Structures are given as structure tokens and as C-alpha cells.
Homo-oligomer: A and B are copies of this chain.
Amino acid sequence: MLKNDRFLRALLRQEVDRTPVWIMRQAGRYLPEYLAVRKEAGNFMTLCQTPELACEVTLQPLRRFPLDAAILFSDILTIPDAMGLGLYFETGEGPKFERPLRTRRDIEQMPTLDPMNELRYVTDAVSLIRRELDGAVPLIGFSGSPWTLATYMVEGGGTKDFAKVKGLAYSDPSAMHMLLDRTATAVIDYLNAQVAAGAQALMVFDTWGGVLSSRDYAEFSLAYLQKIVDGLQRVSPDGDTVPVILFTKNGGQWLDKMAATGCDALGVDWTTELSEARARTGDRVALQGNLDPSVLYAEPERIRAEVHRVLESFGGGPGHVFNLGHGIHQYVNPDHVSVMIDAVHNWRPGQ
């Protein structure tokens, strides 16, 4: 029994009493209560791998703010870590892998993933969060996209120029497709396991699709987003529809192609106006976004004005989930998040 189904209804472009709102990375470092739990856990992966802790930090932002959805606290790199690449974090630096995939041989030797086994800590967290939420709001499950995961798997960490992963894609495209295809299968199994455990909506984060040309995006990223959309279990064990959201950062030019995959909704970053995104997708999908996270550094008056601009750009009617256009920044004042959410709640079309 879901007490607040605004988020799910908006994703399915059904009427809602007001625009639902959640925040990418809403459980994160801008919250002092998150930092306290993380400090206690010792490190980030312990937080992800301990269902009680993942549940606790998932629920923290919901205690503070009247959000319309919860999102599983986890990391997109759980999949390659479970495949044995050896994820680790160095202080002050991004994620790294001890054993990156550099050659066709590395890729051929990738183990297949049984998420119910290697990623049991994630599905356990999903079940626990669902129990603790007790129907207050729906729970979102998520994964990285195959292309985005592949960038980390091949580069061995973050990158500015994507030289190694693009080098592999151009010099040995069939090896690259083998990697993407196997990763897509793992993503499908992983997301379906999350649905079986209780996830009520799914989001695929294609953080790095936007570094590709249009043709390469279609070949190396979108084709595998399509495979995922086709392979997902989009009905919950209770018989409810599980909406699927795709998000390619810097993918504003390809929204029409993304909508054609048959997903339910698209995430939109702040570089594309929602009015344009809506025109390009012809109301075939719901749209989620798209306030620039940096707006939260502004004073309350400016935050309210920018929130209203986003809502007006969408232009009313069903099919909008308010969110930032990317994850919330670490140094944002949580009080400014309240201002943002209030501004969403207080908006009426045509103000």
C-alpha cells in the first residue's frame, strides 16, 4: 500500500496533485547525518555493502525533506567490483580498479555475474529499505549504463579524455561490443534482482554517453540501453508497473532516440531546456529534471525563481518529475534544499 504514488504516476504520465520531487544523490555528503554514518562505517564500500547502513543513509534525506521518492544507496561500480576488477578508493581521488580490462583477452576472461549471489548485499538492502519505508514513498533501484561502466572498467578509474576506452572501441570494436554486451546482461540481471527484492522504479545512469559522437553514441551506448529496456522485468512481484528512466548526461541532442527505446521517462540535464526536451520527445515519455545543481549555492530568492523557471519550461500537464540535472554537490547547505522543495510545492502553473 503506497501512501504517496505521485512519483510513479508522473513517470507514467498520469495526473498528479503536484509535481513530485526527489534529488539525485539525495543521500550524500551534503548531509551531516550521512557524514556521521560514513565516518562510523570507515569507508564508502562498507556503507554500500552493509544493508543496515545502506538502509539508514537511504532514509536520512526523507526524514529531513518531504521527498516523493527514495533511491537505494549504492554505487554504479558494484557490478565491475563483483566481476572481480578490484574496486578501491584513494583519499581525495575517484574510484579505481586494481585489474582494469585492457585487451580482448581480459574481456573474454570476464566472469559472468550472478547478482543474487555476488551482489546479495544490494538486494538485501532493497528488501530492508522497502520494509522500513513501509509504503511512505516508492523506492528507486538503479545501475550504471554498460558504456559508462565500461569507461571505468577499461580506464581503470575516472578519466578526462577517455583515451583508453575509445582507443579500444576504435581499434577492436568487436572486443568492445563483447564487453558492452556482457555488461548489459549483467545490468539486466542486476536490475531484475532489484525489482524482485522490491525496487518500484528503475533508473539507468549513462553518465558518460555524452562524450561520444552521435554515431558512436548509437553504436556503443544507446544500443545497450535498448537491450536493457527490452530485457527488464517491468512488473513488480505485486503486479505493479515498474517504470524505467534513462539518463544520458550531455545527451540532450539524442532525447528523441532515447525515447524511442520504449522507456517510460528520460532524465534531462540543465543544458537542455525542458520545453525543448518535451518538443523533441513529443510527449512519448515523462521528463525528470533539470535544475543546475549549482543554483543551490544561490540565495533563497534566486533558488525559488530558478525552480519556477524549470517548472514553467516543462509547461504543466502530466509527465514531469522535478529533480536536479545531476547529483547534488557536497558543499550545498541543506536548508537550500528545503527552499527548493518548497518552491516546487508552492508553484502553480501560470504564476
Interface secondary structure of A, over-half rule: helix
User: Within the complex, which residue of B212, B252, B295 is in contact with A253, where a contact is CB–CB below 8 Å?
Assistant: B252
Residue pair B297, A271 in contact (C-beta under 8 Å): no
Q: A250-B250, A329-B163 are in contact. Are A271 and B210 (CB under 8 A)?
A: yes
Could you mark each residue 313-341 of chain A with 1 if its beta carbon is under 8 Å from any beta carbon of chain B, else 0?
00000000000010001010000000000
Is A167 interfacial (CB 8 A cutoff)?
A: yes
Task: Provide the bound-state CA to CA distance between A216 and B295, in Å.
Answer: 11
Closest to A299 in B: B171
> Is the pair B166, A294 in contact by a Cβ cutoff of 8 Å?
yes
The complex places the Cα of A235 from the Cα of B47 at a distance, in Å, of 63
Contact at A302–B271, with CB atoms within 8 Å? Answer: no
Q: How many copies does the complex hold?
A: 2
Interface residues of A toward B: which range? 35 or more
Contact of A298 among B170, B293, B295 (CB under 8 A): B170
Judge whether A297 and B210 touch: CB under 8 Å.
no
Residue from B163, B276, B292 within 8 A of A297 (CB atoms): B163
Q: How far is the CB of A287 from chain B (nearest CB, A)?
A: 15
CB-nearest residue of chain B to A327: B161
Residue interface bits A286-320, CB-to-B below 8 A is 1, else 0: 00000011110111001000100100000000000
Complex CA–CA separation, A52 to B167 (angstroms): 36
A163 near B294 with CB under 8 A, answer: yes
Q: Which of B213, B306, B331 contacts A163 (CB 8 A)?
A: B331
CB pair A271–B298 under 8 Å, yes or no, is: no
Q: Is A272 an interface residue (CB 8 A)?
A: yes
The answer to whether A294 touches B170, judged by C-beta atoms less than 8 angstroms apart, is yes
Assuming the contacts A163-B297, A294-B161, A329-B163, asked whether A170 and B302 have C-beta atoms less than 8 A apart, the reply is yes
